[in-house]
């Protein structure tokens, strides 16, 4: 198009040089100048449209790429949730809790992806019909929230299970220490020197303490059973 305009300008100059009418010598350059101005405006408009179309295509591709990323994350974490959880030791419970903690944190990145999808959608809407993209954004957001909720719930239970398990381990240790001390007291030479009445009272007290320790262990065991 610029080549044609250049030819028009060249020809107009030749015409102006060869015609004798004074009015035509003024009118022709002005007409060509006006034409050149309009052509430049058209070129600017075309460049703007070309840039706009390019930006829209980039935004559309980025939107779909982000959509695929979010959906893939949801599918992966759904499979992760479907795996059976076997807590055979405290360490295995802590490891599983850590895995769910990492999974929950990864959902934050998907929230950022959804926010980016919304921005890309706004760019697309400025120049063309968005089609079914809003529905895809809503779909991805709903699935992500559902999966994130399940991950958070499972992590909270595992975290609580670890805390209960640690308390259970501490209570077991306390009971072992109590048994060892009690055995040491009963078998000590000093205890054998006590009267039968004193030895009987000591045993009764120890039996009462044992009953208390047993209740503590039973309570902790019952709490742990909730997580199995």
Asked whether the predicted pLDDT for residue 164 surpasses 90, the reply is no
Q: C-alpha angle with apex 91: 90 to 95, nearest 5 degrees?
A: 120
Question: Do 81 and 151 form a contact (C-beta atoms < 8 A)?
Answer: yes
The pLDDT value given to residue 38: 73
Average pLDDT over residues 195-200: 73
pLDDT band, residue 46 (cuts 50/70/90): low
Domain interval for residue 40: 2-225
Higher-scoring residue by pLDDT: 28, 173 = 173
On the question of pLDDT at 220 being above 90, the answer is no
Most confident of 24-28, 34-38, 96-100, 214-218: 96-100
pLDDT value at residue 53: 72
Residue 100 has pLDDT above 90, yes or no: yes
**Strand (E) or helix (H) holding 72:** helix 22-82
Q: What is the CA radius of gyration of the chain?
A: 41
- What average pLDDT does range 189-203 have in this prediction? 73
Q: How does the average pLDDT of the chain come out, rounded?
A: 81
Q: Is the pLDDT of residue 6 over 60?
A: yes
Q: Which residues of 98-128 are buried (b: 16+ CB within 10 A; e: fewer)?
A: eebeebbeebeebeebbeebeebbebbeeee
Give me the numbers of helices (H) and strands (E) for the chain, helices first please: 6, 0
Task: Determine the pLDDT at residue 119.
Answer: 94
Is 0.75 surpassed by the pTM of this model?
A: no
At 22 the pLDDT is 64
For 109-115, what is the mean pLDDT?
96
Average pLDDT for 34-58: 72
The stretch 196-211 carries a mean pLDDT of 73
As for how many domains the chain has, the answer is 1
């Amino acid at each position: 198009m610029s080549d044609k305009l250049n030819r028009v300008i060249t020809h107009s100059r030749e015409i102006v040089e060869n015609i004798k009418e004074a009015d035509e010598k003024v009118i022709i350059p002005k007409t060509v100048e006006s034409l050149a101005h309009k052509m430049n405006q058209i070129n600017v408009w075309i460049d703007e449209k070309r840039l706009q179309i390019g930006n829209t295509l980039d935004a559309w591709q980025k939107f779909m790429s982000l959509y695929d990323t979010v959906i893939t994350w949801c599918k992966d974490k759904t499979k992760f949730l479907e795996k059976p959880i076997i807590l055979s030791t405290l360490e295995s419970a802590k490891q599983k809790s850590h895995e769910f903690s990492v999974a929950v944190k990864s959902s934050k990145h998907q929230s950022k992806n959804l926010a980016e999808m919304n921005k890309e959608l706004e760019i697309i809407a400025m120049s063309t019909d968005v089609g079914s993209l809003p529905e895809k954004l809503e779909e991805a957001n709903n699935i992500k929230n559902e999966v994130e909720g399940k991950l958070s719930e499972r992590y909270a239970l595992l975290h609580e299970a670890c805390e209960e398990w640690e308390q259970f381990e501490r209570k077991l240790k306390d009971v072992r220490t109590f048994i060892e001390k009690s055995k040491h007291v009963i078998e000590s030479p000093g205890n054998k020197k006590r009267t039968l009445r004193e030895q009987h009272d000591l045993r009764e007290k120890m039996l009462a303490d044992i009953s208390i320790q047993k209740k503590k262990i039973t309570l902790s065991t019952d709490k742990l059973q909730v997580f199995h």
